[in-house]
Amino acid sequence: MNEHGRTRMAVLLSGVSVLAAAVAVALTIVGPSQAAIGGPVCNVPTDYPTISAAVADPGCTTVNVAAGFYNEQVQITHTLTLNGANAGADANGPRGPESIISNSCGPVQIMADNVKIDGFTIQDSTQSDPCFIAGIWTNPGYSGTHGGHTIVNNIIQNNISGIELDSDCTYPTLVQHNLIRNNNNPGRGSGNGIETNFGLCNATIDSNTFSGHTSSSFVNEAPSSNLNITNNSLVAGTPEGFALFDVNSSNITGNTSLGSTSSATVDLGGGDSNVAVDGNTLQNGMTAIKVENPYSVGPNSNVTANQNNFGGNSQFGVDVESGGYSGGNLDATCNWWGSITGPGPVGPGTGDRVTTGVNFTPWLTAPAPNGACNGPETQKQCKDNLDQQKKDFDAEEKAEKQAFDSQQHTKAEKKAFEDEEKAEKDAFDDQQKDAKKQCDSLPKK
């Protein structure tokens, strides 16, 4: 090969090396699990300028949205996962910068099955019909779909209503770890954190915080079934609560409300059947549980309320209104009524009041979940139980001190431990003193 040929070959080989390097870089940037226009993983705004553009591409089955403010109406027409900057981060805990979807005509409309929305702030629905009203809107009957959405780790705020949540029984629905607050803008459904107007089935509403609503935390106004409303926190000071109509085979369990201004924190408003209201703390409100039929939907039936902690409610612990319940007395046994003596005035005690039409005996003689269901007690039984509680408390305190002393600690840590132990003992002693007074009011035999 002559000199010219060798030079030309060197140039060609150099060009091949550059091309190979470029291909390697390209493969590094766009690998099989990384974002690319057309999906399956798509980034906003890197690959698409707007969320709407990304979700409109049928190839995008996962859409990751960077933190920022997105003033758009997002309409989802195929199954996908929509991740905000706080995907996976409980909305009731620490958060980073938010991916905010804001639109006055409704920020998000879901018109597909099995859509997941995770880690956004969704806000500012202000326009009524024909806009979508809610921060997140679903209606499978309108879109010819089934529902079955997963709505997790979102802050849903400042809409007319928070979520219009509907589905049939085809796929399960999950609403979990959201902060749903202040959805009170004027319009139909105003003041509701979650509302169901078209029907809901096989749904779990779990571990959300509801705050600042002027109507309810969750209202169900269409035939629905297999709902699990569990472990939610209802912030005091506004009418947070659950209002159910035409619901069957459902559970309201493990929820906490410490000061709702609603006329009933749990309102079974008519046509509800096979509903268990168990293990909730419903205190310092007006009425903890009301069973009624004010709109002639039909009486409720097969309702149970057990292992709940009542106390400090200004009207009733359990109120069964005339015509609100069929099938005999409602089972409200094994509840803590805020007093060892049980409920009044139908009952013998000084705890939260109860109406006729309720079976309340036996009741818990200490708060759930550890209280014994053996009320009414005699004075002797009551004092024996208090003595046992004192022995158990002392044994627990001794074990904690032994565990603490088995390790080395600074003076500051020792002081903090001692202060905490003293505070616990003082609180226990005060509780025992009040309980002994209640024991004295019980019958001697």
> 110 pLDDT exceeds 50?
yes
Please give the average per-residue pLDDT across 126-134, as a whole number.
93
Are 101 and 74 a contacting pair, CB within 8 Å? Answer: yes
> Which of the pair, 33 or 258, is modelled with greater confidence?
258
Q: What per-residue confidence (pLDDT) applies to 36?
A: 62
Under the banding of pLDDT at 50, 70 and 90, the label for residue 392 is confident
Under the banding of pLDDT at 50, 70 and 90, the label for residue 159 is very high
> Which of the pair, 286 or 435, is modelled with greater confidence?
286
Q: CA dist 254 to 68, 269, 368, Å?
A: 35, 20, 11
Q: What per-residue confidence (pLDDT) applies to 164?
A: 98
Q: What per-residue confidence (pLDDT) applies to 312?
A: 98
Q: What per-residue confidence (pLDDT) applies to 30?
A: 35
β-strand partners of 290: 267, 319
What secondary structure does DSSP assign to 388-432, as a single string? HHHHHHHHHHHHHHHHHHTS---HHHHHHHHHHHHHHHHHHHHHH
Phi, psi at residue 416, to the nearest 5°? -65, -40
What would the pLDDT profile of 303-358 be if each residue is shown by its tens digit? Answer: 999 999 999 999 999 999 999 999 999 999 999 999 999 999 888 899 999 999 99
Please give the average per-residue pLDDT across 101-108, as a whole number.
98
What would the pLDDT profile of 174-211 be if each residue is shown by its tens digit? Answer: 999 999 999 999 999 999 999 999 999 999 999 999 99
C-alpha span between 205 and 149 (Å, rounded) = 12
C-alpha span between 441 and 302 (Å, rounded) = 34
Say which range, 9-13, 127-131, 228-232, 348-352, has the weakest mean pLDDT: 9-13
C-alpha span between 273 and 254 (Å, rounded) = 19
Q: Give residue for tokens 């009011």.
A: 441
* Mean model confidence pLDDT for the chain: 90
What secondary structure does DSSP assign to 209-262, as a single string? EEES-SSEEEEE-S-EEEEEEES-EE-TTS---EEESSEEEEEEES-EES---S
Q: Which of 105, 114, 109, 99 is nearest to 75 (CA)?
A: 109
Checking 189-192 for CB contacts under 8 A at 24+ apart, the result is 189/133, 189/134, 189/160, 189/161, 189/164, 190/160, 190/161, 190/214, 190/215, 191/161, 191/215, 191/216, 191/239, 192/161, 192/162, 192/216, 192/217, 192/218, 192/219
Q: What per-residue confidence (pLDDT) applies to 29?
A: 33
The pTM assigned to this predicted structure is: 0.82
Q: What per-residue confidence (pLDDT) applies to 388?
A: 76
> 9 pLDDT exceeds 50?
no
In the chain, the percentage of residues whose pLDDT exceeds 70 is: 89
Q: What per-residue confidence (pLDDT) applies to 13?
A: 35
> 8 pLDDT exceeds 80?
no
**What's the sign of the alpha-carbon dihedral 239, 291, 361, 334?**
negative
> 265 pLDDT exceeds 70?
yes
In the chain, the percentage of residues whose pLDDT exceeds 90 is: 80
> 122 pLDDT exceeds 90?
yes
Phi, psi at residue 7, to the nearest 5°? -65, -45
Q: What per-residue confidence (pLDDT) applies to 348?
A: 86
Q: What per-residue confidence (pLDDT) applies to 20?
A: 38
> 33 pLDDT exceeds 60?
no
> Which of the pair, 312 or 445, is modelled with greater confidence?
312
Q: What per-residue confidence (pLDDT) applies to 441?
A: 66
Q: What per-residue confidence (pLDDT) applies to 95?
A: 97
> 22 pLDDT exceeds 50?
no
Largest CA distance in the chain: 121
Q: What per-residue confidence (pLDDT) applies to 431?
A: 67
CB neighbour list of residue 140: distance below 8 Å, 6 or more residues apart: 146, 147, 166, 167, 168, 198
What would the pLDDT profile of 58-93 be if each residue is shown by its tens digit? Answer: 999 999 999 999 999 999 999 999 999 999 999 999
